[in-house]
A and B are shown apart, each in its own frame.
Chain A
């Protein structure tokens, strides 16, 4: 079964760091484009970071210099390291899989999301 499970969210203070995990089952994380998308409370979907073409990464402007996407083939897991967190980073963070075959496109499998709350 193809499945994505995000973990690692929580309540954190401004300026601190957090690592989110997206545990992948049913396919190999390095064989697909994978992305992190966030959704602030009551707001729309916002691109955060992308892992594509098996080894490349691309961040949205809001994430550049603060967030790092990475992966571990042995654990078949995608990560998002969040640093210097701000109140406006408060959101549900989803991971999603690019629709096969790997290439530019839409995201066909989504996790349930993990909530990150940045507050003092």
Chain B
């Protein structure tokens, strides 16, 4: 099973700054990765799919990049609403898929 490893576990960022989150796959997954945001007590929200395509209604300050085994979610000009936990998910081995363990973005 492909393992998705996210880093760092916690990222402290000041409002207005840029957050860079990483996700590494244990083997190549081409561009088969998605990113989700989850706030406490809320349901996950799809941000990015196919590594770099923003989902419907997602602001342009969220961007995804990467290919193969290394992927990045960049959140520019962080707003108070962006402090949350972010998960990556691969779907290379469909119908199997897995999530990373999450990165918490907290206010510095």
Contact = CB atoms under 8 A, between A and B. Distances in A.
B87 interface: yes
Contacts of A44: 85, 87, 99-102
Interface in B67-101: 85, 87, 89, 91-92, 94-101
B98 A104 contact: no
B25 interface: no
Interface residues of B, number: 26
Contacts of A104: 32, 91-92, 94-95, 97
A88 B50 CA distance: 32
Contact of A46 (B36, B38, B99): B99
**SS class, residues of chain A in contact with chain B:** strand
A94 interface: yes
Classify chain A: how many residues form its interface, as a range: 20 to 34
Nearest to A103: B94
Given A37-B44, A50-B97, 14 more contacts: A37-B99, A45-B87, A46-B99, A47-B96, A56-B95, A105-B34, A105-B94, A106-B49, A106-B91, A107-B34, A107-B44, A107-B46, A111-B43, A112-B43
Top 7 A-B pairs, shortest CB-CB distance: A106-B34, A104-B94, A58-B95, A106-B49, A110-B43, A45-B99, A44-B102
